[in-house]
Amino acid sequence: MNQNLADYANIALYSSMAVLTLSMLAYAAYLAGLAPSRADAKDARVAAREAVLVGDGGGEVVASGEHPAYEIEQGEPVRARKAAGMARTLGWLATALLVAAVATRGVAVERWPLGNMFEFGTFASMLVLLFYFGLSTRRDLRWLGLFITLPVLLVLGLASTVWYTQASGVMPSLQSYWLVIHVTVATIAASLFGLGAATAGLYLWQVRVEAEGRPSFLNRLPASRTLERFSYSIHIAAFPLWTFAVIAGAIWARQAWGSYWNWDPKEVWSFVIWVVYAAYLHARATSGWSRSRATWVALAGFACIVINFGVVNVYFVSQHSYSGL
Amino acid sequence: MTDDALSSQPSDRDDTITQPTLNARGWLRFVWRQLTSMRTALMLLLALAVASLPGSVLPQRSIDAGRTADWLAQHKTVGPILDKLSFFEVFAAPWFAAIYLLLFVSLVGCVLPRSLLHWRAMRARPPRAPKRLERLVAHTTTEIAAPPESVIEAARKVLRGKRFRVHSHDGSSVSSEAGHLKETGNLLFHLALIGVIIGVAVGHIWGWKGDVIVPEGQSFANSVGRYATFAPGPWVDDSTLAPFTLTLHKLDATFEESTKGKGQFGTPRDFTAYVTEADKPGGPAKDTTIKVNHPLSVPGATVFLLGNGYAPKITVRDAKGDVLYSEATPFLARDNNYTSVGAVKVPAAEPKELGFSGLFLPTATIDPHAGPTSVFPQALKPALALTVYEGDLNPGGRPQSVYTLDTASLTQLKDAKKQPLRIWLEPGQTYQLPGGRGSITFDGVTRFAGLSIRHDPGKWLTLASAILALAGLIGSLLIRRRRVFVRVSPSADGSRTLVSVGGLAKDDDDGLPELLDDVVAALHDAIGDKR
Ligand code: HEM
C-alpha cells in the first residue's frame, strides 16, 4: 500500500469534483438560457453571468464552442450555446481528473480499485461521465448534462465523505480475478442504468409538459418519443451486461463461498433488479401498457440499484459485507 | 401492413371473454390464454420481485439459523405468524414457489407455440410487397438508367448481400426480410431459463454438502459420520460418497497489520490450508493447498476453505498424573478478533465427569466492561479463560453441541469466596484443580480449518443454460428485424426505371432510413449508374 499515492488520488478526486461543479453550473446556465419566452431578460442575464464566471476558470474553454462535432441548434441563444460549450470542456477535464484519481488509487492499493463502497462510487461516477461525454461526441446530448453532472457530484460527495475508506488490501474472498470481471461489469451496467434512468426521468417529465402544453425549457429538448427511444436503447445495452454480471457473480460465489447461489441479501437484490428490468422490457412489449407506464418500471429498477448499493451494503447482514464501513 | 403484423407475438386481445356462456373447456381455454398472456407474465415477474424482498430483510433460517432464532425471540407476536407463513424460508416458501411455477408454466405456454410459429415463419417466403411503399415507416425513391428487369436483378443481389432473405412475387417487385435470429434469440433466452431452473433442481435433488472442522495435524476421511453437519438432497445415496481423504498439515492466516484505518486493521488478508489429499484411502497422495477462491476438486466433490479458527491443545490429567484428555480442541470465533468460545468435556474424570467451558483469546486482554476479549486475530498473547463444572455431561444422551456444555446436570466449581472458579492459562501453564480433581494444561496453540465439502451435479447444466440465455438475450436485443421492399416501374419515356424502396421494422428502428439509403446507393453501384 502506498499512502502517499492514495493522497494524490484524493487530490485528483477533489479537483475533479471542483471542475465538475463548474461544469454542472454551466449546464444549468445552458438550460436556463434555453428557457422559452418566459425566460425574460433577467434569466438570460443570470445565465450569461454564470457562463462568464465559469469561463474565467479555464483558459481555452471558449474555443470549444466551435467544436466541429457540435451541432448548433436553430434558434438557440448564443449565450446558452456558449455555456454548453464550456460545460462540455470542463466536463471532459473533470472526467480526465477522475480517471486519474481512479487509476492512481488502483496503483496505490496494488489491486483493482473496486474493493469497497468508496472505490465503487468513484469508479461508477467515472464510468457515467465517460459514457455521457463519449456518447455526446456522436449526438447532441447537451440537454442531459445537468441531469448527469448533478447526480454524479452527489455520489462523489458521498463517496469522499461517508463512504471514504483508507487505501488497503482486501479480504481473501475478494482476492480473485472474478472481482475484476464481476464488479467491473456490474459497475458498467449500473452506470448505464443510471444514464438510462436520467433519460427516463426526463422523458416522463417531457410527457407531462407535452400533455399540458405549457412553456418550459423542455420544449427545446428532444420530443418525448425520442427521449423514450434513447432511454430504451441504453437500457437494452445495460440489461445483458447486468445479466452477465449476475452470472459471473454466481460463478465467483461458487469459488469463494462454495455455492453459486445462496440468497444472500446482495444476491436477492441483484435478482430483484434483474427481474424488474426484465419486467420493463416485457412491459414495453406488452400491448395495453403505455410507454410511460413501462418507463416507471425502469425507474423502479434503478431505485432497486440505489437501494442495493446504498442500503443493502451498509445495513444488511450479508456475506457481501465489504463496504469498508 | 402495420408494425403489428411483423410480430409473431400472440395477441393479448382475448375474444373468448365476450362469449355469453362458457363451458368447462371454454373456461380452461380462457384461463390458459390468460395465464400465457404477456400481461400475466409481466405481473408474475413483478410479483416475483416483490416476493423476494422479505428474504433480504428478514433473517433466513437456511442461511443463519442463529440470527433467525434471535429475531423470533425478540418478536414474540409477529414472529410466530411470519414463521407460519414461511417468511424465514422465503425461497422455499409455497407462495414463492407458486409464483415461479406459474411463471414457468406461462413461459412454456407462451414460448412453445411461439417457437412453432417462428419455425414456420423462418421457412415462409417474405410477404408480397405492399402497393404503396411510401406508406411504410421508411421510404425513399430513385431513378436508375437501366431497364426494370436489371434493377430487380440488382436489388435481389444487393439485398442478399445484406443477408436478407429475398423473394419476388411478381416481375416488378422484390420482398426481403432479415433478422429472424432476433426471435430465435428471444426463444432461446426463454427456453434456456427453463434449463437454469432444471439445473438448480438437479442440484437440490442429487447434490449434498457437509461441513467439518479439521485441526492441524488431523485427517478427514469423507463419510457422513465425520461431518459436523451434513445436508443431502432427497435422492442422495449417502453410502456412495466420494471416498477421498485429506490431512491438514498447517493453516496459515494473515491479517491486515499495516493499515490502521477504520474497518481495515485486523481484517483477514490470506488463509491457506496445506493438505495432503488421496482420492481413496491408501491411494496415491498428493500435497496441495486450499485457499479461499481456490477450492480443491476431488472426484465427486469440491472442498472449500470457508472458515478457520483456533484449536488450543489442552491436556487434562487426574490426581495421579494420568492423561484423561489430550486434544487440539476447536474454539469457534465469535468476533473478528477471534474471541472464541469452546468447551472441554472429560467424561473419564473421577469421581464425577468434568467439563470446562469458556474462551480462547489469541491476543488476550481484560476489558473493564466486556471482560476477557481478544484485541487482534493473530495469536500474539494467547490465553484460555475457563470455568469448571462437574456432574453428568450428557444427561439423557441428547445430541449436543461440542462447543458448549449442557449445564442442566452440572454444578459449577466455586473458589473459597464462593465465586465461580476462574482459570486463566497461558501456553505451557498448568492449573491444579481443587479437591484432588487433577489438573488442566494449556500445551499450545494450533489452528483448525473449517472445510465445506459439496457436490452439485446440476451446476454445469445451470451454467450452460445461463450462458445460452445470455447469448439468446444479446441476439434478441441487438438484432434488428426488418423488411425491405423494392418496386420498379419504367419512367414515362421508358429510358429509365423509377425505383421505390420501403422499409418496415419491428419496434422502433432509427437505422431504417439509413439502411434504405445504403440499398439505393448499392443499387446504383451494382448497375454502374452514377447518380
Ligand atoms: C422467467 C420469466 C421471464 C423472464 C426473466 C423474461 C425475460 C424477458 C426479457 C429480458 C425479454 C426481452 C427480450 C426482448 O425484448 O426481445 C423478454 C421478451 C419477451 N418475453 Fe419474456 N421473460 C419471462 C417470461 C415470459 C413469459 C411467461 C412470456 C409469455 C407470456 C414471455 C414472453 C415474452 C415475449 C413475447 C417477449 C418478446 C417481446 C418482444 O416482442 O419484444 N416471457 N422476456
Residue B185 CA, closest ligand 1 atom number: 16
Other Cβ atoms closer than 10 A to B340: 23
- What the block records as the C-alpha cell of B380 is 500474539
Contact call for B45 and A257, based on CB within 8 A: no
Q: What does the pLDDT read at residue A75?
A: 64
Q: What does the pLDDT read at residue A317?
A: 66
* Cβ of residue A169 closer than 8 Å to a chain B Cβ: yes
Q: Is B101 near ligand 1, meaning CB less than 6 Å away?
A: no
Of A255, A265, A285, Cβ closest to residue B293: A255
Do the beta carbons of residue A100 and residue A10 sit within 8 Å?
A: no
Written as one string, the DSSP assignment of B143-206 is EESS-HHHHHHHHHHHHHHTT-EEE-SSTTEEEEEE-HHHHHHHHHHHHHHHHHHHHHHHHHHH
Which are the contacts of B263, defined by CB distance < 8 A and separation ≥ 6?
A165, A324, A325
On chain B, the residues whose CB falls within 8 A of the CB of A240 are: 470, 473-474, 477
Give, for B327, the enclosing helix (H) or strand (E): strand B323-328
Q: What does the pLDDT read at residue B531?
A: 55
Beta strands in B260-317 (DSSP E): 268-278, 285-291, 296-298, 301-310, 313-317
Q: Whose CA is nearest to atom 16 of ligand 1?
A: B476
Place of cell 410507454: A291
User: Under CATH, to which class is B126-178+480-527 assigned?
Assistant: alpha beta
Alpha carbon A40 to its chain centroid, in Å, reads 32
pLDDT, tens digit only, all 531 positions of chain B: 333 334 434 444 444 444 456 688 888 888 888 888 888 999 999 999 999 999 988 988 888 888 888 899 899 899 999 999 999 999 989 999 999 999 999 999 989 999 999 999 888 899 999 989 989 989 999 999 888 888 999 999 999 999 999 999 988 999 999 999 999 999 999 999 999 999 999 999 999 999 999 999 999 999 888 888 898 989 998 888 888 999 999 999 999 887 766 667 888 888 999 999 999 888 899 999 999 899 999 998 999 999 999 999 999 999 999 999 999 999 999 888 999 999 999 999 888 999 999 999 999 999 888 889 999 999 999 999 999 999 998 887 777 788 888 888 899 999 888 899 999 999 999 999 998 899 999 999 999 999 999 999 999 999 999 999 999 999 999 999 999 999 999 888 878 899 999 999 887 788 899 999 999 999 999 888 665
pLDDT tens readout for residues A263-279: 888 899 999 999 999 99
Q: How many CB pairs lie under 8 A apart between chains A and B?
A: 143
Which are the contacts of B27, defined by CB distance < 8 A and separation ≥ 6?
none
Place of cell 460463478: A251
Q: What does the pLDDT read at residue A69?
A: 27
Q: What does the pLDDT read at residue A220?
A: 84
Do the beta carbons of residue B455 and residue B237 sit within 8 Å?
A: no
Mutation for testing the A interface, residue in B264, B296, B462 having most A CBs under 10 Å:
B264
* Mutate-to-test residue for ligand 1 from B189, B198, B507, highest number of ligand atoms within 8 A of CB: B189
Which are the contacts of B50, defined by CB distance < 8 A and separation ≥ 6?
none
Which are the contacts of A67, defined by CB distance < 8 A and separation ≥ 6?
A85, A88
Mutation for testing the A interface, residue in B292, B460, B480, B514 having most A CBs under 10 Å:
B292
Among B289, B282, B285, which Cα is nearest to B248's?
B289
Q: Whose CA is nearest to atom 6 of ligand 1?
A: A278
Among B451, B309, B271, B466, which Cα is nearest to A174's?
B271
Helical residues (DSSP H) of B124-147, grouped into ranges: none
Give, for B138, the enclosing helix (H) or strand (E): strand B138-144
Residue B183 CA, closest ligand 1 atom number: 16
Q: Model ipTM?
A: 0.86
Q: How far is the CA of B107 from the centre of ligand 1 (A)?
A: 8
Other Cβ atoms closer than 10 A to A52: 14
Do the beta carbons of residue B242 and residue B296 sit within 8 Å?
A: no
pLDDT tens readout for residues B423-446: 999 999 999 999 889 999 999 999
User: Domains of chain B: which residue ranges?
Assistant: 24-119, 126-178+480-527, 208-455
Q: What does the pLDDT read at residue A192?
A: 97
How do B422-425 and B383-391 pair as beta strands?
antiparallel
Distance from the Cα of B38 to chain A's closest Cα (Å) equals 6
Searching chain A, which residue's CA lies closest to the CA of residue B270? A172
pLDDT tens readout for residues A166-214: 888 788 888 889 989 999 999 999 999 999 999 999 999 999 999 998 8
* Cβ of residue B239 closer than 8 Å to a chain A Cβ: no
Which are the contacts of A180, defined by CB distance < 8 A and separation ≥ 6?
A112, A114
Q: Is B33 near ligand 1, meaning CB less than 6 Å away?
A: no
Of B45, B463, B507, Cβ closest to residue A278: B45
Q: What does the pLDDT read at residue B239?
A: 83
Q: What does the pLDDT read at residue A217?
A: 83
Contact call for B470 and A240, based on CB within 8 A: yes
- Residue B487 CA to residue A108 CA, distance in Å, equals 65
In which band, very low, low, confident or very high, does the pLDDT at A40 lie, cut at 50, 70 and 90?
Answer: very low
Among B344, B349, B345, which Cα is nearest to B323's?
B349
Contact call for A286 and B38, based on CB within 8 A: yes
Helical residues (DSSP H) of B405-458, grouped into ranges: none
User: Domains of chain A: which residue ranges?
Assistant: 88-315
Do the beta carbons of residue B339 and residue B382 sit within 8 Å?
A: no
Among B145, B129, B134, which Cα is nearest to B498's?
B145
Do the beta carbons of residue B531 and residue B32 sit within 8 Å?
A: no
Q: Is B196 near ligand 1, meaning CB less than 6 Å away?
A: no
pLDDT at A47 over 90: no
- Residue A157 CA to residue A121 CA, distance in Å, equals 9
Contact call for A172 and B60, based on CB within 8 A: no
pLDDT tens readout for residues A226-255: 999 999 999 999 999 999 999 999 999 999
Identity of the residue numbered B55:
G
Q: What does the pLDDT read at residue A60?
A: 32
In which band, very low, low, confident or very high, does the pLDDT at A34 lie, cut at 50, 70 and 90?
Answer: confident
Do the beta carbons of residue B325 and residue B346 sit within 8 Å?
A: yes
Q: Before B351, cis peptide (omega within 30)? A: yes
Q: How far is the CA of A48 from the centre of ligand 1 (A)?
A: 50
- What the block records as the C-alpha cell of A169 is 488490501
* Ramachandran angles phi, psi of A251, nearest 5°: -65, -45
Among A56, A129, A49, which Cα is nearest to A88's?
A129
Residue B103 CA, closest ligand 1 atom number: 27
- Residue B465 CA to residue B469 CA, distance in Å, equals 6
Mutation for testing the A interface, residue in B36, B39, B46, B56 having most A CBs under 10 Å:
B56
Residue B186 CA, closest ligand 1 atom number: 16
Contact call for A1 and B259, based on CB within 8 A: yes
pLDDT at A120 over 60: yes
- Residue A57 CA to residue A53 CA, distance in Å, equals 7
In which band, very low, low, confident or very high, does the pLDDT at A70 lie, cut at 50, 70 and 90?
Answer: very low
- Residue A118 CA to residue A313 CA, distance in Å, equals 12
**Average pLDDT, integer, range A58-76:** 38
On chain A, the residues whose CB falls within 8 A of the CB of B469 are: 243
Q: Is B186 near ligand 1, meaning CB less than 6 Å away?
A: yes
* Mutate-to-test residue for ligand 1 from B7, B31, B104, B190, highest number of ligand atoms within 8 A of CB: B190
**Average pLDDT, integer, range A126-140:** 94
Q: Is B107 near ligand 1, meaning CB less than 6 Å away?
A: yes
- Residue A103 CA to residue A85 CA, distance in Å, equals 27
Render the burial of B31-63: b for 16+ CB within 10 Å, e for the rest: eebebbbbbbbbbbbbbbbebbbbbbebbbbeb
CA-CA distances (angstroms) from residue B401 to B331, B342, B345, B356, B531?
Answer: 12, 10, 11, 14, 89
In whole angstroms, how large is the CA radius of gyration of chain B?
A: 37
Do the beta carbons of residue B55 and residue A261 sit within 8 Å?
A: no
Among A64, A84, A241, A74, which Cα is nearest to A148's?
A84
Render the burial of B438-474: b for 16+ CB within 10 Å, e for the rest: bebbbbebbbbbbbbbbbbbbbebbbebbebbbebbb
On chain A, the residues whose CB falls within 8 A of the CB of B200 are: 261
Do the beta carbons of residue B120 and residue B502 sit within 8 Å?
A: no
* Cβ of residue A175 closer than 8 Å to a chain B Cβ: yes
Q: What does the pLDDT read at residue B168?
A: 92
Residue B37 CA, closest ligand 1 atom number: 30
- What the block records as the C-alpha cell of B366 is 481484560
- Residue A116 CA to residue A322 CA, distance in Å, equals 6
Q: Give the pTM.
A: 0.87
DSSP, collapsed to helix, strand or coil, labels residue A233 as helix
* Cβ of residue B458 closer than 8 Å to a chain A Cβ: no
Do the beta carbons of residue B414 and residue B461 sit within 8 Å?
A: no
Of A168, A271, A282, Cβ closest to residue B41: A282
**Average pLDDT, integer, range A304-320:** 80
- What the block records as the C-alpha cell of B84 is 407460519
pLDDT at A66 over 80: no
DSSP, collapsed to helix, strand or coil, labels residue B333 as strand
On chain B, the residues whose CB falls within 8 A of the CB of A250 are: 466
Distance from the Cα of B210 to chain A's closest Cα (Å) equals 11
Among B478, B471, B477, which Cα is nearest to B193's?
B471
* Ramachandran angles phi, psi of B208, nearest 5°: -145, 160
